[in-house]
């Protein structure tokens, strides 16, 4: 495969994985709204969250067809960073140094695991 | 007010069942000679995986009742840690320095977020 083609496929993979990461954070956000609510409202939000999480997984699987897992999988943890933004925007949750630092550690760990996973398949 | 130990227990259940559920589903899918609904419905691993996934979702929602969304969601990264541990003990995958370091970083991250 020529370099340009490979680069294009990777770009598509990155777009797909970013969609997947967003869907999984949105799914959890729906669950959070459900958990804070009650009755039919909560059940509908649980269902929405479940669908979003499932769709997220589907997009992640699809993304892996277009690029190396070591590059793509760690990008799923960007969803954790996104949750800090979404939590602040929609739930008035505070952005603390603990959240930022902890998420940075988690993303670093995910990147290391991604690199490892890739070498096994080579 | 729910205590720290209870939250930790829920977190462990949701992340462990999420990891084990994904591995069981993967095992079930790999076992299938071809993809057909009948074979999927007859595979025990797929039932186990689905059950664990639902358990993970329910306990995850439970966790969100007690924690901020922007705390609970990043904490679910512990799922990756369980995958490394289960792969080591069940599938005899080797532990490398990088994997151990990754696990330590994620655990530190979860601990820092919980503060």
Minimal-distance CA residue of chain A relative to B87: A117
* Mean pLDDT confidence for A22-28: 94
Q: What is the pLDDT of residue B2?
A: 62
Q: How far apart are CA A69 and CA A55, in angstroms?
A: 19
Q: What is the DSSP letter of B95?
A: P
Predicted structure pTM score: 0.85
Let me know how many helices (H) and strands (E) chain A has, helices first: 5, 0
Q: What is the pLDDT of residue B55?
A: 95
Q: What is the pLDDT of residue A11?
A: 86
- The per-residue DSSP string of A65-91 comes to TSS-HHHHGGGGGHHHHHHHHHHHHHH
Residue A4 has pLDDT above 90, yes or no: no
A118 confidence band (pLDDT: 50, 70, 90): low
Annotate B4-40 with b (16+ C-beta within 10 A) or e (fewer). Answer: eeebeebbebbbbbbbbbbbbbebbeeeeeeeeeeee
Q: Can you state the angle between helices A3-36 and A39-63, rounded to 10 degrees? A: 170
The neighbour count for residue B84, using CB atoms within 10 Å, is 20
Name which of A71, A78, A97, A62 is nearest A25 in CA terms: A78
A6-15, A54-63, B45-54: least confidently modelled range: A6-15
Q: How far apart are CA B70 and CA A83, in angstroms?
A: 5
Q: How far apart are CA B108 and CA A14, in angstroms?
A: 27
pLDDT tens-digit map of B79-106: 989 988 998 898 888 888 988 999 999 9
> A19: exposed, middle or buried (C-beta count within 10 Å: 0-12, 13-18, 19+)?
middle
Contact A31 B61 (CB under 8 A): yes
A88 confidence band (pLDDT: 50, 70, 90): very high
Q: How far apart are CA A38 and CA A35, in angstroms?
A: 7
A17-21, A41-45, A115-119, B31-35: least confidently modelled range: A115-119
A99 confidence band (pLDDT: 50, 70, 90): very high
User: Which of B73, B103, B115 lies nearest to residue A98, judging by beta carbons?
Assistant: B115
Q: How far apart are CA A48 and CA B61, in angstroms?
A: 13
* Mean pLDDT confidence for A68-73: 79
A34-43, B29-38, B105-114: least confidently modelled range: B29-38
Joined tokens for residue A31: 């669950």
Contact A115 B60 (CB under 8 A): no
- The residue with greater pLDDT, A113 or A70, is A113
User: Which of B60, B104, B109 lies nearest to residue A103, judging by beta carbons?
Assistant: B109
A47-51, A68-72, A73-77, B49-53: least confidently modelled range: A68-72
Q: How far apart are CA A28 and CA B87, in angstroms?
A: 26
User: Which of A50, A83, A109 lies nearest to residue B69, judging by beta carbons?
Assistant: A83
A121 confidence band (pLDDT: 50, 70, 90): very low
* Mean pLDDT confidence for A21-49: 92
Phi-psi group of A18: left, alpha or beta (phi > 0 → left; psi -120 to 50 → alpha; rest → beta): alpha
Residue A9 has pLDDT above 50, yes or no: yes
Q: How far apart are CA B26 and CA B30, in angstroms?
A: 6
């Amino acid at each position: 495969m020529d370099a340009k083609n490979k680069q294009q496929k990777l770009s598509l993979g990155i777009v797909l994985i970013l969609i997947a990461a967003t869907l999984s954070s949105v799914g959890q956000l729906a669950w959070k709204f459900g958990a804070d609510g009650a009755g039919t409202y909560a059940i509908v939000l649980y269902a929405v969250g479940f669908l979003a999480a499932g769709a997220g997984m589907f997009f992640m699987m699809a993304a892996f067809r277009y690029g190396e897992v070591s590059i793509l999988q760690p990008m799923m943890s960007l969803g954790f960073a996104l949750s800090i933004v979404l939590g602040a925007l929609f739930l008035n949750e505070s952005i603390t140094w603990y959240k930022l630092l902890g998420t940075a550690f988690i993303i670093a760990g995910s990147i290391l695991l991604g690199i490892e996973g890739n070498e096994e398949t080579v | 007010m729910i205590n720290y130990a209870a939250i930790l227990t829920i977190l462990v259940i949701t992340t462990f069942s999420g990891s084990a559920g994904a591995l069981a589903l993967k095992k079930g899918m790999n076992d299938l000679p071809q993809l057909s609904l009948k074979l999927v419905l007859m595979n025990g691993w797929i039932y186990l995986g689905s059950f664990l996934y639902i358990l993970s979702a329910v306990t995850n929602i439970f966790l969100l009742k007690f924690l901020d969304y922007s705390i609970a969601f990043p904490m679910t990264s512990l799922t990756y840690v369980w995958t490394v541990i289960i792969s080591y003990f069940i599938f005899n995958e080797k532990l490398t320095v990088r994997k151990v370091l990754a696990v330590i970083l994620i655990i530190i991250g979860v601990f820092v977020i919980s503060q």
